[in-house]
Structure 1
Amino acid sequence: MSGSPPPPPPAVARPRHERAPAAGTRLAPDPLDELADRLGGFVAVAVHPDEIAALLESDGMTDDHIRLTYGRADSFALAEDLYARVERRHPEPQAPPAPPWHTGLAGCLLRGLVFALPGLAHVLAAPLLAGEHGRYGLPAGTVPLLAGAVTGWMWNQALAHRAYTWLGLGDRPAAARALLTGAPAGALAGTAVALAAAAPGETPAAVFAAGQSLYLAAATVLLVLGRERALLHALLPLAGAVPALRWDLPGPLRGVLLITSLTAAVTFAALVLRPGTGRGARGRGGPPLTASLPYGLFGLGSGLLVLHAGLGDPPAGGAAAVLALTLSMGPAEWLLHRFRGGSLHRLHTLTTARAFRRSVTGALALCLGGYLTVLSALTFAATALWPGASWPTGPRLLTLLLIGAVLWLGLLLQAFGAVLGAAAVCLLAAAAATAAPAAGPAATGGAAAVLAALTCALLIRPTAHRP
């Protein structure tokens, strides 16, 4: 009869050897219930059992312990049971998550500007560095300049990582001490490499490379310690290069502008490093030096790719391409912050692993597409403003965008700790472009595809986004 309650299930006869518990007997608590209560807050917000398995393993639970205590085969089986037992609860965050990844667009644009302004120093110094003979088909003095610059990029990238590690530990004096020790050493290394690479007649270029190495060391100090405005003020004398794009300036005036800017940068860096000179600033032992090596290798690979972007075009067009790439690093950094902050927000709002994967993949495509759009706009703007620069052809623009994609994806992987893979891919692409310039676009395209695959494989996992 419809609407009547279903009949009760038939009684099941209990085997003779199985005794029913006596009245009033209390059953032992289930260990899994106790574990679910203890980890309930974390399990409730997990979007996949793998997150719970990672937590169990980080707590030191071995498979033997799990089998003996909870009767499950391993941490993954136990995580699946906990995931099914605890109800999903994803409350809206009360405050913006992960403040270290929350930054404004203005600050990132300022960093992009201070990345690009040092290029004006080369405009001022160009007549001072002119020579009769060059090597490898390059203008005179180019080899020592490039050798010093690449050395500085590699050294200072590793140094910045070490200093940022100290800042992450909350020890600013120790970060200042690391910079106080490493920055002068980097300047000396860049100078030594430039002098060793200089041929007879390239002494002015080697001297300029020494000043460039000193500037890179000072700029690293100011950028790591958050003094972008001080660095911008130090670079203001280089604005004198803007008239030099159209008219000839006296040699002494060019030299004064260069020396004034370099002196200001070094002075500001010395002032902000005063906390590193204190007796109590030595701090703890810190991370091993080898931990910063992959970041230096990534700086080497990415720096070589940027140089190929400039050397692959006629001089004026190459300069415009490098200017566009350096200016784009500001928006690139902001988009990295946006992606990281959005990923942390998704961990608190999405309830399934599938929804998380779809959302992260869409955000990744949107941020990368946005960066390439900005890079294209900057390329056309720099070409229009740079005297003598020709409009980029389709293949040249495609190569530049591929280099931009490699840089952005590499920086993203670096931000998530996967710097070794990013460094290896960038170095291989740079080596292929150096050995066979005609294969440069293919090598860069292959590097972009590999980095995109690595990024998707890593970032669709919720555990990769845990702070």
Structure 2
Amino acid sequence: MSGSIWMPPGSRPDTLPAIPRQRTAPSWAQPDPIDELAERLDDFIAAAVHPDEIAALLESDGLSDDQIRERYGVKNSFALAEELYERVERRYPEPEGPVHDPWQVGLLGCLLRGVVFALPGLGYVLGAPLLAGSRDDFGLPAGTVPLLAGALVGWTWNQGLAHRAYSWLGLGDRDAARRSLLLGAPAGALLGALVALAVAGAASVGVAFAAGQSIYLGAATALLVMGRERALLVALLPMAAGAVLALVHPVPDAARLMLLLGSLTVVVLLGLREVAPPKGRGELRDQPHQTRSRRTTSGPSLLGSLPYACFGLATGVLVLYAALGDVLAGEEHTAIAAPAAVALTLSMGPAEWLLYRFRSGSLAGLRSSSTPKAFWRTTTVTVVECLSAYLLSLLALSLATSALWPHAPGIAGIRLAGLLLLGVLLWTGLLLQSFGAVLSTATVCCVAALAQTVGLVTHTGSPHEVGLIVYGTAAMIQAALVCALLGRATAHR
């Protein structure tokens, strides 16, 4: 055969023309389905910082692992994502015009919320003479135990209630958010009053004060969730002005009571007006039957709000221990609501603004980073910058409140160190919570609150020493969680 001359079919007279047959292209000529997929998703893959982003897109498109194995010859979506990530060169084209940043918020609005959080504390200053009496069995001022019990119940209940209402708002159902607040706020107020009565053992002025406190917490939660911070601020201003006046000039008890009840009444009426069903229709009267059924079956789960309630309880316990540190240490010259608690409450305004700044910085990091490691470094630097700014604001607020608070001990040394570590714990907890990692931060804070309680009950050390150890340990754990969880690009998409 090697010496014969090849001739095309049909050129030899003794043979019939051959019928052409369709040939199968060799395997190397078949288009690679992964290349086709990479070409189709080119823009998204090129902008991905980590393969997990691509895997999330594949899963959102409904590709199962069985389909991926059959079509692309790899075992699952993660393996396919890694293959796509390797085949497409990284590039991050800048969009035309200014980059949209949804996390840009004004500092003034956040500071206003911090003031609104702190102003109710002046109610305790105004009402302190009404609670005058001998110290209780725990060495605390009269009426303190029912007030603390009612406050803890209120913080726990309303944290969970706020999450549920915000969840409804996120689903676009403002009426359902109103209904949850209309039903939940009174239930929480009743529960707080009953708990205060139970720990007091008998009806007293302290129980009445605690009941008013519970009612206020429920109404204020409704106003804050519905975005009515300014209305709440205006309602609290007369009471706050009376409290400031009482610090420098005697105020009759009748006037104190009128100011407290007047502000409480206005807050409750504003809250009721905000959550009451609109006039002229029932809650669901004008809505189609299908819409009613869908909202009934696809609403947020009650269990989903439980970690937020636990987070509220744990942080409330930790802040109360910070406020009661000197009292629990047996120092008779001080009282509750020490400058530490006031400073922490006021610092929630800057804390909220810095949470937005972190989200904005992480969004910029997604655009500028070309590798997962580079994004992790950028995110870590942003966390350090925002946390440092928060601690500076907390330090300034603690020094100012300590200087202005009558007969307050100075905040320095172990007190200041413990306060700043507690600030780290609270801010990193709020950061994790804002990214949906509420179960992690709730667990850390609950364990910290339990550990501090056990340490105080067993007299392991002074309250300040126990707090320093607990806050420091929990803060380090939570900071590590922030770096591990939020250093991944997929957490920010």
Q: How many residue pairs end up in the alignment?
A: 445
Give the structure 2 partner of residue 13 of structure 1.
Answer: none
Work out the CA distance in 1 between the residues paired with 2:101 and 2:61: 23
User: 1:377, 1:403 → 2: CA distance?
Assistant: 15
Cα distance, 1:98 vs structure 2:
5.4
Q: How far apart, in 2, do the equivalents of 1:24 and 1:62 lie? A: 29
CA contact under 8 A between 2:179 and 2:275: conserved in structure 1?
yes
Are 1:332 and 2:351 an aligned pair? yes
Residue 395 (structure 1) aligned with residue 414 (structure 2): yes
1:38 to 31, 37, 40: 40
Please give the secondary structure, in 1, of the residue aligned with 2:338. helix
The more displaced of 336-345 and 366-375 is 336-345
Distance 1:198 1:175 in 2: 34
Q: Deviations over 1:354-403 (max 9, x none)?
A: 21111000000111111111000000000111111121121000111111
Q: Aligned partners of 2:143, 2:25: CA distance in 1, in Å? A: 96
Structure 1 26/456 Cα, relative in aligned 2: closer, same or farther at 3 Å? closer
Q: 2:324–2:336: 8 Å Cα contact kept in structure 1? A: no
Question: What are the Cα deviations for residues 381-433 of structure 1, in whole angstroms up to 9, with x where unaligned?
Answer: 00111111121121000111111111101101100111011111111111111
* Distance change (3 Å), C-alpha of 1:431 and 1:24: closer
Contact 2:185-2:218 at 8 Å conserved across structures: yes
Moved more, 407-416 or 41-50: 41-50
Check if 1:446 corresponds to 2:473: yes
Equivalent residues in 2 for 1:116-265, closer than 5 Å: 116-200=118-202, 203-238=204-239, 239-265=241-267
Q: Distance in 2 between matches of 1:299 and 1:25?
A: 62
What does residue 464 of structure 1 align with?
A: 491
Where do residues 312-391 of structure 1 align in structure 2 (5 Å cutoff)?
312-313=325-326, 315-316=334-335, 319-391=338-410
| Root mean square deviation of aligned Cα | 2.2
Answer whether contact 2:152 2:316 (CA < 8 A) is retained: yes
Partner of 1:389, secondary structure, is coil
Residues 447 and 22 of structure 1, relative CA distance in 2, 3 Å threshold: closer
Q: 1:31 offset after TM fit, Å?
A: 1.5
Greater alpha carbon shift after TM alignment, 426-435 vs 208-217: 426-435
Deviates more, 1:312-321 or 1:407-416: 312-321
Question: Are the equivalent residues in 2 in contact too, given 1:402–1:444 (CA < 8 A)?
Answer: yes
* Counterpart Cα distance in 1 of 2:310 and 2:144: 22
* SS in structure 2 at match of 1:322: helix
The amino acid across from 2:206 in the alignment is A
Partner of 2:425: 406
Alpha-carbon distance between aligned partners in 1 of 2:26 and 2:491, rounded to the nearest angstrom:
49
1:262, distance to aligned residue in structure 2 (A): 0.4
Query: Counterpart of 2:331?
Result: none
* Matches of 1:362 and 1:382, distance apart in 2: 30
Which whole-Å CA distance do the structure 2 matches of 1:107 and 1:457 have between them?
A: 31
Choose from 450, 466, 470 the match for 1:431. Answer: 450
Shift, 1:166, TM fit: 1.0
1:65 to 64, 67, 77: 67
Tell me if the contact between 2:147 and 2:206 (Cα under 8 Å) persists in the aligned partners. Answer: yes
Whichever residue aligns with residue 188 of structure 1, its letter is: L
How many angstroms does 1:152 deviate by? Answer: 0.3
- Match for 2:321: what amino acid? H
Unaligned runs of 5+ residues in structure 1 are 1-20
State, as a whole percentage, how many aligned pairs show the same letter: 60
Q: Distance in 1 between matches of 2:412 and 2:162?
A: 36
What code does the residue aligned with 1:377 have? A
8 A Cα contact 2:141 2:335, kept in partner: no
Instruction: Provide the C-alpha distance between the structure 2 equivalents of 1:139 and 1:300, rounded to a whole number of angstroms.
Output: 22
Determine if contact 1:97/1:341 at 8 Å carries over to the other structure.
no
Residues 106/270 of structure 1: CA separation in 2 closer, same or farther (3 Å cut) = same
Change (3 A) 1:204 1:28: same
> Quick one: distance in 2 between partners of 1:25 and 1:320?
76
1:293 maps to amino acid: L
Q: For the residues of structure 2 that align with 1:24 and 1:127, how far apart are their CA atoms?
A: 94
Write the distance in 1 (CA, Å) between the matches of 2:481 and 2:28.
Answer: 54
User: In structure 2, what is the Cα distance between the partners aligned to 1:366 and 1:43?
Assistant: 30
The one of 295, 309, 314 equivalent to 1:301 is: 314
The alpha-carbon deviation at position 435 of structure 1 amounts to 2.0
CA distance in structure 2 between the partners assigned to 1:320 and 1:275 by the alignment: 41
Out of 296, 302, 309, which is 1:289 matched to? 302
1:98-141 deviation digits (Å, cap 9, x = unpaired): 52x33210110000000000000000110101122413121111
Question: Which residue identity lines up with residue 227 of structure 1 in the other structure?
Answer: R
Contact 1:306–1:322 (CA under 8 A) maintained in structure 2: yes
CA contact (8 A) 1:47 1:350 kept: yes
Deviates more, 1:422-431 or 1:68-77: 68-77
1:82 offset after TM fit, Å?
A: 0.9
**Structure 1 pair 31–210 and aligned structure 2 pair: CA distance change class (3 A):** same
CA distance in 1, matches of 2:266, 2:258: 12
Structure 2 gap segments, 5+ residues each: 1-22, 328-333
* Farther-moved stretch of structure 1 (276-285 vs 318-327): 276-285
Aligned-pair distance for 1:30? Answer: 2.5
SS of equivalent residue, structure 1 residue 312? helix
Contact kept? 2:428, 2:479, Cα under 8 Å: yes
Give, as a single letter, the amino acid of the residue that structure 1 aligns with 2:190: L
Q: TM-score, normalised by structure 2?
A: 0.86
Output the CA distance in 2 between the equivalents of 1:129 and 1:426. 32
Q: Could you tell me how far apart the structure 2 residues matched to 1:380 and 1:317 are?
A: 17
Q: Judge conservation of contact 1:309–1:318 (CA < 8 Å) in 2.
A: no
Q: Which has the larger radius of gyration?
A: 2
Aligned equivalents of 1:284, 1:29: Cα separation in 2: 49
Q: Quote the Cα distance in structure 2 between the aligned partners of 1:155 and 1:44.
A: 46
8 Å contact kept, 1:316–1:388: no
Hey, what's the Cα distance between the residues in 2 that align with 1:92 and 1:261? 52
2:283 to 278, 287, 311: 278
Q: What residue is the counterpart of 1:4 in the other structure?
A: none
Which amino acid in structure 1 is aligned with residue 324 of structure 2? Answer: L
